[in-house]
Structures are given as structure tokens and as C-alpha cells.
Amino acid sequence: MADFAAEVRRLMAERGMSLRGLAKASNYDPSYLSKVLSGHKPSSPYLAARLDDALAGSGMIRAAAQEPPPRRAGKASNQQRKPSGAVEALQVAMTGDPAGPDIGADGLAELVLHYAHALAVAPSAAVYGELLSARSFAGTLLGRSAPRQRPDLTVTAGWLSSLLAISAADLGDHAAAVVWCADTERRGRDASYPELLGWAALTRALIAWYQGDPLASAAAARRGQADGQPGSVAHAKLAAQEMRCRAMLGDAAGMAAARRRAAAAMALLGPPAPAASVYSIPRAEDPPYTATSLLLAGRYAEAAQMTRLIIDTAYHPQARAPWDQPTNYARALLILALAAAGLGDLDQAVAAGTAALDCGRIVWPTIVLAGKLDQALARRFPGATGEANFHARYLDAGTHLALPASRPQPARNPR
């Protein structure tokens, strides 16, 4: 039987269809589809069915997908990790220059800005590896001088550790994430830079939130507000995170108080960042996570209305392709889908939920929310065609998480 990728390429050639055309017809990210066909990402029965339909394969692609993929030659396990291209560039720029340490510190600070944007738009295990290389190089530079002599470099190392914590959390590696949170906190204290403490606390709070522990999440958010920097984005997000924790716990008074604190923190912020970043925040009339809080309080119509406004004003879906959106865009769509499900609108819920899972990179928080939507649809619309279609799409999405190692599949009773 033909190899899956070879069969897809054969039919593409016969139909005169390009990779981008196939991606559009099957509603997949072209870069993801390219990696599947080159063997760098796994296929799935759902993807095979979509490609078979798009190429009119009469079941040939579905059948080819059942065959085991050809074995790829592995690299030696003892191969030493190579520095990333960015770190190699810094090493060359520093060579022979008396200002080498300053060049290295300035370059790493630029990388913090670069990766803060990259993680917002295209998080992946590859980006995590590049961040690990940059953080290792920062540690090498720190080892050549006392931290108190280079507080700027200590802060940069803290930012890189914060980015590693965020990246590890997105990839579902919570053990690594809490290690990097601890290092972020240490660097923040060493350099007397409380904003780093706020971001570490927010990452801890979000991990607990998506693990379904609002009490632990609220406690982390409160600690972060006490230790962090007032007037920072992290401080505003921490207050907003406590708000939605209170909503999940059914504490209406606590939710209202946290919402007021979040609004006050938002009023202290400076101009918004020009580009998407994991350290930026959408500017709106209400604090972030307000729509989620309304959803949890059962105020579905208000949650849907607010989420639509956020989607239109913060993400501009008409001007940007779904796979170019920040990962928060997918989560906004899932909040809209959950609100629609609460209102009894199956078609809107399935459309928004499917659109969220077609947004390119799928990270762990996104799949957690998709699982909640899957369960909500199963409760409200058991046996409906739309509910079954979303369930299949959700199971398929679980194979697309950019994790560095094996992971559990989405949990739900088999049909």
C-alpha cells in the first residue's frame, strides 16, 4: 500500500493542487501540513479524512494513513546540544571585542523581545529549545561576573527564565515550568526587580487555573499582587486572574472586588505594545478575563457580547489569517463557543470551537478549554451531528499539541 505522504503528493500532482491550496481546502495551517507530509509531525485519522475529501481520494488517503510511517534515522543520543543560531551570532559578535560582555547582554535583551512575540504567535518545542540555548548563554555570562556587578544581565536572565516558564506551561510540561518560575523569582529578587516576581506568580496561577484548582490559582494571584510591581501588566493580569477564580468559586462579592482592583490596575498602564507579546494585554473597557468570569457566573449573553467585541477590536480577524493570530485568539473563540453553548446555540458553539482548533498552534490551555466545550456540548446536545463533529475535531486536535514528549490523549468516555 502507498505511503501516506506519497499518496497525498500523488493526488496533489494529479489534481494540480498546491500545498497552500490543499491547506485552505482542508482548513489546516500550511506550515503544519508541510511538517506532516515531511514526516516531522504525525498524521491522524481526522486529518487523513479531511485530505481525502479535499483531494477526492476515494478512500486512498484514509487507507494509506493506516500504514505505519517509514522509520526515520535517529540522531545519536549522546550528541551535544548545539547553540541556537542567535546564540552563535552573539558569540561571533563578541569575539575579539573589548565590549564583548556588553554586546552579549544587549543581544540577549533583544532576544527577550523577539521571543516574547514568538511565544504569543507560534509557541513550539523548537522555540523552547532556542530559549533554553539563550538562557544557558546568559548563565555563562553571569558566571563571569558577580550578579551585583551586572544587574541588567541578571534581569535579562530572569526574563528568559520567565519565557521558558511560559513556554513549558504552554507545552504542558508543568514540572519544568515551576522550575523556571522559581528561577525567575530568584533573579527578580537578586536584581530587586519585582515585575519578574509578578510574571512568575501569574504563570503559577494560570497552571493551577487550567488544572482546575481555582483556590490555588487565586492564592498565587494574591501573592503575585503583593510581591509584584504595581502599574505593570502582570499586576493587572494577576488581579483579573483572581477575579475569574472568584467567579469559578461562586464568590460574587470577591469577583466584584477583584474586578475593581483589575480595572484600577489597568488604568495605571502606559501605552499598549505595538506587537503581540506574552507580556502585553488587550486594551478594552473591561479587564482581561471579564468575559470568562461572566461565563462562569452563568451570564452567557453578556459573556458572548463582550467576547465578540474583544475578538473584533483586539484581534481583527478580517485582517489576519487564523494561524497568524496569537494563541489567546483561539481561547477567546472557545469562550465565545462556551457562551453560545450556554445559550443553547449549537451551530454557533461548534463553529466558534472548530475555528479555535483551526488556528495553527494548539497549546495546552487551548486544549483544556476545548475539552470543557466538548463536555458542555455532550451534556446539552447529546447525539447531535454538530456535537459529534466537534468531538472528532477535538480528539484530532489532541494530536497536534507541540509537546517535546509523549502526552495523554484528551479525556472523555469513548463512543
Q: Check: CB of residue 349 under 8 Å from CB of residue 338.
A: yes
List, in order, residues 6 or more apart from 392 with CB less than 8 Å away: 46
pLDDT band with cut points at 50, 70 and 90 for residue 388: very high
Phi-psi region at 39: left, alpha or beta (left = phi > 0; alpha = psi -120 to 50) = left
Q: Which of 125, 129, 130 is nearest to 86 (CA)?
A: 130
Residue 301 has pLDDT above 60, yes or no: yes
d(CA 186, CA 105): 19
Residue 415 has pLDDT above 50, yes or no: no
Cell numbers linked to 260: 475593581
Cell numbers linked to 192: 530587586
Residue with cell 463582550: 306
Residue 404 has pLDDT above 70, yes or no: no
Q: Pick the residue with more confidence: 111 or 27?
A: 111
d(CA 308, CA 378): 24
Which pLDDT score is estimated for 34? 80
Residue 332 has pLDDT above 80, yes or no: yes
Mean pLDDT of the chain: 86
Q: Pick the residue with more confidence: 62 or 167?
A: 167
**pLDDT > 70: what percent of the chain?**
90
Q: Pick the residue with more confidence: 376 or 53?
A: 376
Residue 250 has pLDDT above 90, yes or no: yes
Q: Of 169-173, 183-187, 239-243, give the lowest mean pLDDT range.
A: 169-173
Taking residues 373-382, what's their average pLDDT?
95
3-state secondary structure of 138: helix
Taking residues 229-244, what's their average pLDDT?
94
Highest mean pLDDT out of 69-83, 195-209, 354-368 = 195-209
How far CA 120 is from CA of 7, 127, 239, 290, in Å, comes to 35, 11, 21, 20
Q: Which of 81, 187, 210 is nearest to 138 (CA)?
A: 187
pTM, two decimals, is: 0.77
Residue 226 has pLDDT above 50, yes or no: yes
Per-residue pLDDT reduced to its tens digit, 73-125: 444 444 456 788 889 999 999 998 888 888 999 999 999 999 999 888 877 77
